[in-house]
Amino acid sequence: MTACPPAVFGAIRHDWSRAEVEGLLALPLLDLLLQAQRVHREHHAANTVQMSTLLSIKTGACPEDCAYCPQSVRYETGLEREALMEVAAVRERAQRAKAAGATRFCMGAAYRSPKAKELEVIAAMVREVRALGMETCATLGMLTPAQALELKAAGLDYYNHNLDTSEEFYGEIITTRTYQDRLDTLAAVRAADLKVCCGGILGMGESPADRAELLRTLANLPEHPESVPINQLVQVAGTPLAGSASLDPFEFVRAIAVARLLMPRSHVRLSAGRETMSDEMQALCFMAGANSIFYGEKLLTTGNPDVERDRRLFERLGLKTEEGPADIAAQISPAVDDERPCARAGYHAETAP
């Protein structure tokens, strides 16, 4: 195959092959970081990070058997169950998050799929958070098309529903919900004109090929997710994945960089697992194209770095927080031409400079 020039990186595509993605993951790390940062700056404001806060609005007693999740009713993790929060309490937490610098407020509930009365309360939460001038996101399990439309009518901006891993490895992690169930929920969310937040979890014992396939599946969705959370497994005692071998940090950084190359316009988010990452590892992730984090509150039922640590890190790295769409648009470079022949045909990773 004829080598493509460096400018081919950053093309918007939905036809990636497994071999192409594996080739990207196999690039020399510094070459990969160089290309990922270049593509990042073509589509996003440099040195700028979007800040989100995630609140668990209903905790525990989930009937699913996700092997990583302490909220499953099937595992003894010591997690205390908490009923769906009151609307006023959620509004107060959102106000605090906004005051701390968050521009998006994400609400997570441990459901397989919300019931009608539960969704009515959550819709009221969405309206209250939107009234504060914040973007809203929810993760509530599977949705029907009608439920997605109800959330859209309430003013929801984003819906999170992760693929978790590759379809081939998926059965090793969860058996109570199929991969197609997840894809169907994503389709319902898109049909309701909601923005999609969708990514996965690394370090669950998957192979490099599984990581490549997860990223390929995300990039080959009909539309790229607007947000792509890349989680590092948080091992919780009592869950089946407790005691798993840790993922090489450089493999995590590689996944961030490849997510940036495959989905240039998406926000790539450092999500769960950040509390165990060194400042140096996080800096590499930002170099690789990560431009969103969760901070403040607890990340559902596991911790994340405190706000002051994040502020100190941002100061040391010269990073600033994302203000809003107008602020972003004024700072990014023009998008690359997506119709180049090389972009359509792919490129040979071994010949990348």
Q: Tell me which of 69, 211, 254, 260 is the catalytic residue.
A: 69
Name the one residue in this structure whose structure tokens are 């950053």.
Answer: 10
pTM for the full model? 0.83
Q: What is the average per-residue pLDDT within 118-140?
A: 93
What's the rounded Cα separation, in Å, for the pair 62 and 109? Answer: 9
How many alpha carbons lie under 13 Å from residue 25 in its C-beta half-sphere? Answer: 22
Tally of structural domains, the chain: 1
β-strand partners of 142? none
Residue 197 is a catalytic residue: yes
Residue 66 is a catalytic residue: yes
Residue 12 included in any domain: no
Residue 342 is a catalytic residue: no
The predicted pLDDT at position 122 comes to 93
Q: Quick one: which of 297, 288, 233, 255 has its CA closest to 96?
A: 297
Q: Tell me which of 4, 197, 198, 285 is the catalytic residue.
A: 197
Q: What is the average per-residue pLDDT within 128-135?
A: 92
Residue 14 included in any domain: no
Higher pLDDT pick, 238 / 185? 185
Residue 211 included in any domain: yes
Q: Tell me which of 4, 13, 62, 91 is the catalytic residue.
A: 62
Asked if residues 154 and 127 have their Cβ atoms less than 8 Å apart, the reply is yes
Residue 164 included in any domain: yes
* pLDDT band, residue 52 (cuts 50/70/90): confident
Other C-beta atoms closer than 10 Å to the C-beta of 86 total 13
Exposure class string for 115-151: b at 16+ Cβ within 10 A, else e: eeebbebbbbbbbbbbeeebbbbbbbbbbeeebbbbb
β-strand partners of 69? none
Residue 3 included in any domain: no
pLDDT at 296 over 80: no
Residue 133 included in any domain: yes
Residue 106 is a catalytic residue: yes
Amino acid at 163: L
- The parent domain of residue 175 ranges over 19-344
What's the rounded Cα separation, in Å, for the pair 90 and 321? Answer: 23
Residue 119 included in any domain: yes
Residue 6 included in any domain: no
Residue 285 is a catalytic residue: no
Which CATH number fits the domain that encloses residue 120?
Answer: 3.20.20.70
